[in-house]
Amino acid sequence: MKLKLSYIYALIFIIVCYILLPVMNSDYLFTLQERSLWVNGHTFMTETVGRDGWIGYIGCYLTQYFYYPWLGSTIIIALWLVICYILNKVMELPDAFTFVPYLTIWFLPVYLLSLGYWVYFIKTPGYPFIPTIYALILSLVCLIINILFRNIKNDYFRIFRLIFVVSLLSIIKPYDFNKYHEFGITLKNDNYRHELKMYKAVDENRWNDVLAEAPKQENKDHKHPTNLMVMFKNLALLNTDQLLEKAFDYDNCGTAPQTSDDLKVKLFVQAGPMLYYHYGLVNYAYRWSIENSVKYNFSVNSLKMLVRCAIYNQEFDVAMKYISILKSTTFYKDWAKKQEAMIRDSRLFMESEDYQRISVLQTKGNELDDDLSNISKYILDHFSNYNSSTYPFEDLSIVSSLLLQREDEFMIHFYNYIQNHSEDPTPKIMQEAAYFIGPTEMSPVDVSLFPFDMNIKDAFANFNEEYRVRSAQGEADSNIAKSLLPMYGNTYWWYYFFHSELKFY
């Protein structure tokens, strides 16, 4: 039996699509649905249809299936196959040429994967499915036209039909495509892909998985992480009780995300509420969840954060409002019911991991303040400025002041630390920083009598000498940084000398 070529083409198309979608980009697809919303109810339907039309509403409905990336992918691939099948029917192509429809719709998978960092900023509800729905409608239009003119059977008409189909489909090609061309970011940008994984892990309190995504300082390629990755990494270290010991074993030189278009990524949209919530600034987490929802639509992601914040703040009525909405979704019912149970039984909430961790991060008293949309700087400032001898503030204050290179604040934290821990060994990173800053005029604390470890004194002398010599030879700082990385990458001096400015965005 001879296998038809059309089946082989279809099989190749299916395999390529599955590799591109759930195999390579499951985190991306999951994020797409989490930044979208479909609610089973009259009010949501009326509002969405009124604002975005039925196609937007259907797009939202279908997007939710990316909750299971394989399921959502199967649905969208099936729709693409239907489109190709219709186009094949319309074009009446010979078996050998039945690959043409797959070429015709090449842009649909590209559209789906072209969001990159736009995934956080997209304002079109149901976007992942909208081009596909349009393509399906247009291919059905082609089919109807074909049926209406089925009696005309000459070669010119066939060619005309082919041109007509291709040009009709090309109508939807420009749809938002000029805006989103981050295909390369989605597929290849390591930081982007790490961020997606880290975000999901933070959301689920899987701290070791967060750390697994954070690049260690001695990484060979020496591609810096983004500022968000640094913040997530430090959060994971905090929640695994290793912040002070290991913060500088990882690369802290946070950069701004790389994009391939003019998109300026803002941390407050990307993960502001998540960072604020886990760093204990619950009001600000709530505020930014609302602000982001206003700009970029309410999503499962924002509603979940609003529920968490409202429960933590014991604002149960508004928590129940958001829970009611999430209970009317397809895939977040169970999550919502668990939160509802915590409202009904406060013991469950008090015993929850969220409460245990966040309640100890509460500073004393209320302040009237403004973060000026600069989330990571505000968090670091918040802890760097805070003097407390209790855990975890002590560790957070020290690491924040070191990251911000606030010499005076660090030395005060250092002084308080050695007063409170006179019996314990002083962590390496603190000794490195204090040995270096202490003798300078920036220090409000005299460290001349502090018994620094001999190996730290020697290491600093060597580092200093190497830097001095190379610098005197006219070597650029970036080259010196690379050369000294293997030996000194996890020292505070390396961070201080070669990363003079944190990138806030």
Partner 1 sequence: MKKIFIILSISLVALSQVLFTSCSSTPSVPSNYQTENRLPQITPDYTDITVPCNIAPMNFSVKEGTDKVVVRFTSPAGEFVYGEENNVIIDEAEWKSMLEASKGKDIKVEIFAEVEGQWKMFKAFNFHVAEEPIDEYISYRLIQPSYVAYEELILAERNLTTFEEKQFYNNMAVQTEENGQCVNCHSYQNYKTDRMQFHMRQSLGGTMIVDNGKIKKVNLKTDATISAGVYPAWHPTLNLIAYSTNKTGQSFHTKDKAKIEVQDTESDLILYDVEKNSVITIANDSNELEVFPTWAPDGKTLYFCSAHFEYKNDSIAKETEMIQRYKECKYSLYKMTFNEKTHEFGPREMVYDAASEGYSVTLPRVSPDGRYIYFAQGEFGCFHVWHPDADILAFDTKANEVIDLKAVNSNRAESYPTISSNGRWLMFVSRRDDGNYTRPYISYIDKQGKPRKAFELPQKDPNFYTFFLKSFNRPEFMVEPVKQSLNEFASAAKKDAEQATYGK
Contacts to partner 1 by CB under 8 A = 39, 41-44, 47, 51, 281, 283-284, 286-287, 290-295, 298, 313, 315, 317-318, 320-321, 324-325, 328, 362-363, 365-371
Which residues partner with 250 through β-bridges?
216
User: Toward partner 1, which CB reaches closer, 40 or 356?
Assistant: 40
Closest Cα partner for 433 from 236, 244, 223?
Answer: 244
User: Toward partner 1, which CB reaches closer, 298 or 488?
Assistant: 298
User: Toward partner 1, which CB reaches closer, 293 or 401?
Assistant: 293
- Strand, coil or helix: 384: helix
Min separation Cβ 323 and partner 1, Å:
10
User: Toward partner 1, which CB reaches closer, 255 or 293?
Assistant: 293
Q: How far apart are CA 301 and CA 14, in angstroms?
A: 30
DSSP state of 39: -
Amino acid at 245: E
The three-state DSSP-derived secondary structure of 450-491 is CCCCHHHHHHHHHHHHHHHHHHHCCCCHHHHHHHHHHHHCCC
Min separation Cβ 326 and partner 1, Å:
11
Q: DSSP for 396-428, please give it.
A: HHHHHHHHHT-HHHHHHHHHHHHHHTTTSPPPH
Q: Cα–Cα distances in Å, from 183 out to 175, 188, 327, 499?
A: 16, 8, 34, 30
The three-state DSSP-derived secondary structure of 88-108 is HHHHCCCHHHCCHHHHHCCHH
Min separation Cβ 420 and partner 1, Å:
25
- Could you give phi then psi for residue 250, rounded to 5 degrees? -105, 160
Which residues partner with 255 through β-bridges?
226
Rg of the chain taking only CA atoms, in angstroms: 28
User: Toward partner 1, which CB reaches closer, 365 or 425?
Assistant: 365
Q: DSSP for 182-205, please give it.
A: -HHHHHH-HHHHHHHHHHHHHHTT
Min separation Cβ 140 and partner 1, Å:
20
User: Toward partner 1, which CB reaches closer, 229 or 320?
Assistant: 320
Min separation Cβ 324 and partner 1, Å:
5
User: Toward partner 1, which CB reaches closer, 51 or 216?
Assistant: 51
Min separation Cβ 65 and partner 1, Å:
22
User: Toward partner 1, which CB reaches closer, 292 or 443?
Assistant: 292
DSSP state of 226: B
Min separation Cβ 287 and partner 1, Å:
5
Min separation Cβ 344 and partner 1, Å:
13
User: Toward partner 1, which CB reaches closer, 279 or 488?
Assistant: 279
Min separation Cβ 235 and partner 1, Å:
18
